[in-house]
Structure 1
Amino acid sequence: MTGYIHWLRRAAFLAALVLSLNVPALPAQGQWRSQLPDARLVGAGEFTWFGFTVYTARLWSPAPRVDFNQPFVLELTYRRDISRDTLVKASLDEMRRVADVDPATLAGWEDDLRLAFPDVKAGQRIAGEYRPGQGGRFYLDGQLRQEIADPEFAKAFFAIWLDTDTRSPELRRALLGLNTERSR
C-alpha cells in the first residue's frame, strides 16, 4: 500500500511540474480557434509608437503564406490602456490612408468599429478574423464581440497591417514571417 501511495505522490508531483512549466501550448485564443482549427502562427511582432510598445501582434493562418484569398486571424495583445475612441479614430485614419474609401463608407464603418472595440486595458486581447468574401469577426479576450459582414471593410481594415503601404513595414514583415533583419 505504501508503494501505491508513493507512486501517487510522485505522479501528482510530475503532473504539477509539467503544468507549471512555461511551455507554449496553444494560447488561449478562444472562439476564433473553432473557426480556424488548422491555423498556425505565421509571424509575430510589436508595434511601438515613440519608443513605447502599444501592442504585440500575432498572425495566424492555415496557410504559410497569408493573402486576402484565405482566412486568417490577427491577434493584438495590448500593453497599454487605450480608449475606444482612440482605437476607432486610428483605425479609420489608417484605413483611409491605405485604401481608397469614400467618406460616407467610412462613417458607416465608424459605427461598426464602435461596436467591435471596447476601451481596452493593458493585457487585453482583440483578435480580428478575416473571412474572404464575407467580412470579419472581432473577439475580445477570446469571446466574439462583433461580426461585420462587409468584405470591403475587412480588406481595408486588415490592410492597416498587411498592405505594402502600412505605417509599420517592419511589423508587416514580422507578421508575414519574412526576413526582419535590419540593414546596418
Structure 2
Amino acid sequence: MAQAAESATATPLSGARLAGQGVLRFLGFEIYRARLWVQPGFDADNYGAQPLALELTYHRDFTAEAIAKRSLEEMRRVGSFTPQQGTRWQQALQAALPGVKSGDRLLGIHQPGVGAVFKMAGRVVGEVPDAEFSRLFFGIWLSPQTSEPGLRQELLAATRTAGQP
C-alpha cells in the first residue's frame, strides 16, 4: 500500500533535491524523460564520487537487452574498459533491468564506491555491485563526454545556479 502511495515527486535519495529534468529525443520522437536528484553541495565535475538518483520515464518500449546494449555503447564514450568488463557489465545490466513499456519509470541510484541499484514502483529490480560500472553508467548522462550535452545541461540546471557563473 505504501508503494502505491509513493508520489512522482517523492525524493528517491535521502536529503536530495531535484537538480533538473529533460527529454531525450531521437529523430523528433520522445524516447524518455529524465530527472536527476542530488544532495546539497553536489559537484557535477565530480559526479562519480557523490550519491545521486536518475529517473527515466520511458515513452517507448524497450527490452532489457536493448537497454543494456545501448548503455554499453554510451559508456564507451565516457571511459575505457576491457572487452571482458564490457561483456560482464552488459550481462549484469541486462539481468538487473527489466524490459520497459511506455509510461514505465525506472530509477537508478548511484552509490559511490559500491555500484548501482535499479528500482521500479518503489521496489529494487536489480543491482550491479561494481563502482566503476556505476560511474561510467551514470556518466552516460552526466559526463562531459555524453552524447547528449543538451540533456546533461538540463539535468544539471539547478547545480549550476547556486554561486556558479
Task: Report the TM-score, using the length of structure 1 for normalisation.
Answer: 0.76
Secondary structure of 1:165's counterpart equals coil
Secondary structure of 2:101's counterpart equals coil
Q: Deviations over 1:74-112 (max 9, x none)?
A: 100001111222111100111122211110001000111
The residue number in structure 1 matching 2:22 is 45
The residue number in structure 1 matching 2:110 is 130
Q: Distance in 2 between matches of 1:71 and 1:160?
A: 16
RMSD (Å), alpha carbons: 1.9
- Which ranges of 4 or more aligned residues in structure 1 deviate by more than 6 Å? none
Deviation at 1:45, TM superposition (A): 0.3
Deviation at 1:48, TM superposition (A): 0.4
State the percentage of identical aligned residues. Answer: 40
Deviation at 1:39, TM superposition (A): 1.2
The 5 Å alignment of 1:94-109 reads 94-109=74-89
Gaps of 5+ in 1: 1-24, 180-184
Deviation at 1:71, TM superposition (A): 0.4
The residue number in structure 2 matching 1:56 is 33
| Greater relative contact order (Cα < 8 A, sep 6+) | 2
Q: Deviations over 1:149-172 (max 9, x none)?
A: 110000110111111110100000
Secondary structure of 1:160's counterpart equals helix
Instruction: Work out whether residues 98 and 165 of structure 1, in 8 Å CA contact, stay in contact via their aligned partners in 2.
Output: yes
Secondary structure of 1:81's counterpart equals coil
Match of 2:101 among 110, 121, 126: 121
Q: Distance in 2 between matches of 1:175 and 1:126?
A: 16
Task: Report the TM-score, using the length of structure 2 for normalisation.
Answer: 0.85
Q: Distance in 1 between matches of 2:145 and 2:48?
A: 15
Deviation at 1:28, TM superposition (A): 5.9
Could you say which structure has the larger radius of gyration?
1
Structure 1 residue 173 and structure 2 residue 153: aligned?
Answer: yes
Secondary structure of 2:8's counterpart equals coil
User: What amino acid is aligned across from residue 148 of structure 1 in structure 2?
Assistant: V
Match of 1:154 among 117, 134, 139: 134
Q: Deviations over 1:127-181 (max 9, x none)?
A: 11001111110112321011211100001101111111101000000001167xx
Secondary structure of 1:171's counterpart equals helix
The residue number in structure 1 matching 2:163 is none
Structure 1 residue 91 and structure 2 residue 71: aligned?
Answer: yes
